[in-house]
Amino acid sequence: MINVIGLGYIGLPTALAFATSGQDVVGSDCNPEVVAQLRSGKARFNEPGLNELYAAALEQGVRFSDHYERADVYIVAVPTPYDKFTNKVDATQVVKAIDAILAVAPQGAIIVVESTLSPGAIRKSVRPLLLQRGFKPDEDVYLAHAPERIIPGAMLRELRKNNRIIGCDVPEIGEKLKTLYSAFCEGEIVVTDVQTAEMCKVVENTFRAVNIAFANELARICRYEDMNVYEVIRICNMHPRVNILQPGPGVGGHCISVDPRFLIGDYPSIAKVVAAAMETNDSAPDFVLERIREIMRVEGLVDTSRVGLYGLTYKENVDDVRESPTLQLLELQRRRLAQPLNAYDPYVTRDLVERQFHDLDAFLDANDLVVIMVKHQEIIDAMDKLKGKIILDCHNVCNLPNAYRL
């Protein structure tokens, strides 16, 4: 049996994928409200195909519990937040989950951590816990790391199709896990040691963060010279060995905006390029705010109550607001005691900010300057409604003559 610990964005799809591949699965979460919702027949969040996978998993007998059960394999998918001041990852929830697992785990159980960790975290934080509990690591209980590589909006497809890393210091256990994950994973599965797996996950997202930072810095250079950064990138990317990403209003989500900080926190005297890149990305919402003020001066606008931010999520066509650049921008306004801006997002139905709209037409009617913070398909399909508006397009999706760009 497989016991999946933590039923959030990663744990729930993983539990459902294993269940529909024929495995005996119980999903556990310490939040009884989460368990009650799943037992009632409702998936926890919006994701293409999730409801269908959930229904299929129920037919296969997946169960949900608020406690951990005796199992052959435990998959830990709990949050690993970081301290914004020290850039250190907080592995407390992982350690607590594994401590609770050890109270019920049978001899020979395999504990797989899918939560993203700093390189060396399992060696430093988890193995000592096993020893304290009287277990011999990699003899009585086996430890592994299988970091996820999926994004909201394409979770289920990427869960099946993406390549995968299995980190385990006992090769035969690593191969056993490779076979287990192969039940639903169609991508290549690479088996390596635990610390290499930890490092690879963090490095993958760090590489993307640094590339985005370069694009964001290039946007500022081009703005200084009154050049079109998107045309510069388009032409540069015609070179066979150049692939510059697109600039944007900031970096959100729980991977690219967070994982590089693990390297900064653990290697502060070494990770200089990473630290500089994160400073650039962190300042992107402030750059957007300055562009808003600049455009207001040029257009003669004085009333910020007629400025609206389109999009509250961290990326397009999802309801995930973790580390949202729009929320970061609004927090900057609040800290500076400035009047809050209007906001709207078709995927965010609950009130998150002070002046939030829940209807596109009402939002557009209320604003003279519309800032496209997120390129949801809705706004791309509604470009005709933006005629007559002043637009700050942070994603180069609007071809109207009244659009400004980063």
Alpha-carbon distance 181 to 69, whole Å? Answer: 20
Alpha-carbon distance 392 to 374, whole Å? Answer: 11
The SS3 assignment for 141 reads: strand
Which of 222, 255, 394, 398 does the annotation list as catalytic? 255
- Asked about 168 being catalytic, the answer comes back as no
Distances (CA, A) of 294 to 40, 221, 405: 51, 16, 12
165: exposed, middle or buried (Cβ count in 10 Å: 0-12, 13-18, 19+): buried
- Asked about 201 being catalytic, the answer comes back as yes
The β-bridge partners of 357 are 344
Closest CA to 68 of 18, 103, 112: 103
Helices (H) and strands (E) in the chain, counts: 16, 14
The β-bridge partners of 5 are 28, 76
Which of 168, 176, 201, 394 does the annotation list as catalytic? 201
Burial profile 87-123: b = 16 or more Cβ within 10 angstroms, e = fewer: bebebebbbebbebbbeebeeebbbbbbbbbbbebbe
311 close to 239: Cβ distance less than 8 angstroms: no
Bridge-based pairing state of the strands 189-192 and 63-65: unpaired
Bridge-based pairing state of the strands 189-192 and 307-310: unpaired
Q: Which residues are catalytic?
A: 201, 255
